């Protein structure tokens, strides 16, 4: 991963690839994220309260490796994934070609604030490990509000600030959130907090072979009723 002479990873490069995988390292970073982010996906899916016929939007699905797991939990979903990395969108389409052919899954190359919809069409919107990169969270949350159906849920999963601040790559362009920061952000943007789940994870970072202790923070919120 673009090691320096002393064999430490180039953390600025790693951070840029995590933010938007691109170029010759995109495939590798996508695969590494699948290793490091297995448990946070499992914990998040447990919170989605999936039942048949839900319309789901995922923001920043990476290479889409975990989408099949959603359909294993409930085969009667309709899923849209968006990502502004064209390499990740292409990988997602390839990995999930069966679901795409059956029109159960669609993958779009677009940024979070450029979604080509304006109607409230989603029952669930979720995003894992992207909040750190939102350049204007108030704008993004108002776009999400617009797309959520009245009883819809937004689920945001991150590694909280007290964990992430020990990882050198987060010095480069990551905005870190504590549980309180993230809840406050949602509440000030018109969401009621429905649940907050904190879970310990253990495993490889996927970036180096070091075994790390991570923690998942998963917040589910609903729109204020009008």
Ligand X SMILES: C[S@@+](CC[C@H](N)C(=O)[O-])C[C@H]1O[C@@H](n2cnc3c(N)ncnc32)[C@H](O)[C@@H]1O
Site residues (CB under 6 A) for ligand X? 18-21, 33, 37, 60-62, 82-85, 88, 111-112, 128-130, 133
Tell me how far, at minimum, the Cβ of 149 lies from ligand X, in Å: 21
Between 15 and 54, CB nearer to ligand X: 15
* C-alpha span between 199 and 44 (Å, rounded): 10
Between 76 and 138, CB nearer to ligand X: 138
What is the helix, strand, coil percentage profile of the chain, to 5?
A: 40, 25, 35
Tell me how far, at minimum, the Cβ of 218 lies from ligand X, in Å: 12
Tell me how far, at minimum, the Cβ of 30 lies from ligand X, in Å: 7
Between 69 and 76, CB nearer to ligand X: 69
Between 65 and 223, CB nearer to ligand X: 65
- Contact present, 78 and 102 (Cβ < 8 Å): no
Tell me how far, at minimum, the Cβ of 26 lies from ligand X, in Å: 9
Please state the φ and ψ torsions of residue 155, each to the nearest 5 degrees.
Answer: -120, 125
Residue whose structure tokens are 């995003």: 127
Supply the Cα-derived Rg of the chain in whole angstroms: 17
* C-alpha span between 88 and 100 (Å, rounded): 15
* C-alpha span between 52 and 213 (Å, rounded): 35
Tell me how far, at minimum, the Cβ of 206 lies from ligand X, in Å: 9
Which residues are registered as beta bridge partners of 57? Answer: 80, 125
Closest C-alpha to 32, from 13, 57, 4, 5:
13
Between 130 and 189, CB nearer to ligand X: 130
């Amino acid at each position: 991963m673009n090691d320096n002479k002393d064999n430490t990873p180039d953390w600025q490069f790693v951070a840029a690839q995590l933010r938007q995988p691109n170029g010759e390292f995109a495939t590798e970073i996508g695969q590494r994220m699948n290793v490091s982010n297995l448990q946070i996906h499992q914990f998040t899916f447990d919170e989605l309260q999936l039942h048949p016929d839900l319309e789901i939007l995922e923001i920043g699905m990476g290479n889409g490796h975990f989408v099949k797991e959603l359909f294993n939990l409930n085969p009667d979903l309709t899923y849209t994934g968006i990502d502004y990395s064209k390499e990740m969108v292409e990988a997602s389409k390839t990995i999930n070609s069966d679901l795409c052919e059956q029109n159960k899954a669609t993958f779009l190359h677009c940024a979070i604030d450029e979604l080509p919809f304006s109607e409230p069409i989603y029952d669930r919107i979720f995003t894992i490990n992207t909040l750190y990169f939102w350049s204007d969270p108030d704008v993004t949350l108002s776009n999400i509000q617009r797309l959520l159906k009245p009883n819809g849920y937004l689920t945001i999963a991150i590694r909280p600030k007290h964990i992430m601040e020990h990882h050198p790559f987060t010095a480069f362009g990551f905005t870190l959130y504590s549980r309180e920061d993230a809840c406050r952000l949602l509440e000030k943007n018109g969401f009621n907090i429905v649940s907050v789940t904190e879970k310990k994870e253990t495993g490889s970072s996927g970036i180096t072979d070091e075994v790390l202790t991570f923690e998942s923070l998963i917040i589910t919120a609903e729109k204020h009723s009008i």
